């Protein structure tokens, strides 16, 4: 299913826009539409005060998306999707299924979103603490990033550009899957060993380079032609955490081309660093 990914502040009006999209594609385009909504899974907004439960929510949504996505019908993902690294993972899922996607940023101000939150039924409201925390953590989409593109930014007073969205999904060629997005059989017996060595070498290179480099310098990535731009100082703990996440991700997306691992990890690392 071509994927429409909605993102925005809590209570920004994403679900309203999702329903409008579903009605348009069902009635005007004649497509079968599946709406996958975060609201159907979250029964209590207090879940957002528990990092582990919120992580489980993202995992559940991703699993459902991977189960539903195909090349035929329209899949709408209605949720906050506020982490750019998570949006990148969803992009990999649609790309590996050889289908198109677009991103809709529901660009409602935090002030207006809070007012809309207070109009909800009490059990559907975000607490002030959770609302403010989600606003602070929100990573707005950027159309220059391939995983956020094509990007449609929607203001509260805007009409949805239905025809442009339909063209982005139905008239555009899906990106070809590559080694970093295809789920391939684990044919290399030393894959896990190479995975550990390649990723650790890159982390070590970045850490060591920071001792003699300044902000703005580029660091050569081992086994790759990529250059890592030092935008700030990166802690070993931060790099190691992302490395562990990538290893878990790569175990379900093993590759035959071991040198490709360096480029894969570089892309993953840069998309997850804030």
All structural domains of the chain, each given as residue ranges with its CATH number in brackets, are 3-181 (3.40.50.300), 190-273 (no CATH)
Measured CA to CA, the distance from residue 155 to residue 147 in angstroms comes to 21
Q: What are the tens digits of pLDDT across the range 169-224?
A: 988 888 776 544 444 444 444 677 788 888 999 999 999 999 999 999 999 988 88
For 26-59, b/e burial (b = at least 16 CB within 10 A) is: eeeeebebbbbbbeeebeebeebeeeeebeebbe
pTM score > 0.95 for this model? no
How far, in Å, CA of 167 to CA of 151, rounded?
A: 13
Tokens for 104? 């809709």
Q: How many CA atoms lie within 13 A of 188 on its CB side?
A: 16
- Structure token pair of residue 108: 């409602």
Please name the residues in contact with 65: beta carbons below 8 A apart, sequence gap of 6 or more.
3, 36, 75, 77, 90, 93
User: Given the DSSP bridges, would you call strands 151-154 and 101-106 parallel, antiparallel or unpaired?
Assistant: parallel
pLDDT band of 257, cuts 50, 70, 90: low
For the stretch 91-135, pLDDT in tens is: 988 888 889 999 999 999 999 999 999 999 888 899 999 999 999
């Amino acid at each position: 299913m071509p994927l429409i990914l909605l993102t925005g502040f809590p209570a920004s009006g994403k679900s309203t826009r999702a329903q409008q999209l579903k009605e348009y594609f069902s009635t005007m385009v004649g497509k079968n539409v599946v709406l996958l909504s975060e609201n159907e899974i979250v029964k209590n907004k207090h879940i957002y005060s528990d990092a582990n439960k919120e992580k489980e929510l993202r995992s559940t949504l991703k699993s459902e998306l991977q189960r539903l996505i195909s090349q035929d019908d329209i899949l709408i993902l209605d949720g906050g999707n506020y982490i750019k690294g998570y949006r990148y993972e969803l992009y990999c899922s649609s790309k590996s299924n050889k289908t198109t996607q677009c991103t809709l940023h529901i660009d409602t101000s935090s002030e207006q979103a809070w007012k809309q939150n207070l109009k909800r039924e009490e059990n559907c409201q975000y607490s002030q603490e959770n609302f403010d925390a989600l606003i602070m953590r929100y990573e707005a989409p950027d159309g220059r990033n391939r995983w956020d593109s094509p990007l449609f930014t929607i203001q509260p007073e805007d009409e949805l550009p239905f025809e442009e969205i339909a063209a982005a999904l139905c008239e555009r060629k899906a990106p070809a899957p590559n080694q970093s997005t295809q789920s391939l059989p684990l044919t290399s017996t030393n894959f896990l060993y190479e995975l550990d060595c390649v990723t650790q070498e890159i982390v070590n290179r970045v850490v060591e380079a920071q001792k003699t480099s300044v902000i703005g310098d580029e660091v050569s990535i081992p086994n790759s032609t990529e250059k890592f731009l030092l935008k700030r100082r990166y802690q070993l703990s931060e790099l190691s955490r992302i490395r562990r996440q990538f290893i878990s991700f790569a175990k379900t997306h093993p590759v035959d081309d071991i040198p490709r691992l360096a480029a894969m990890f570089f892309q993953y690392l840069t998309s997850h660093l804030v």
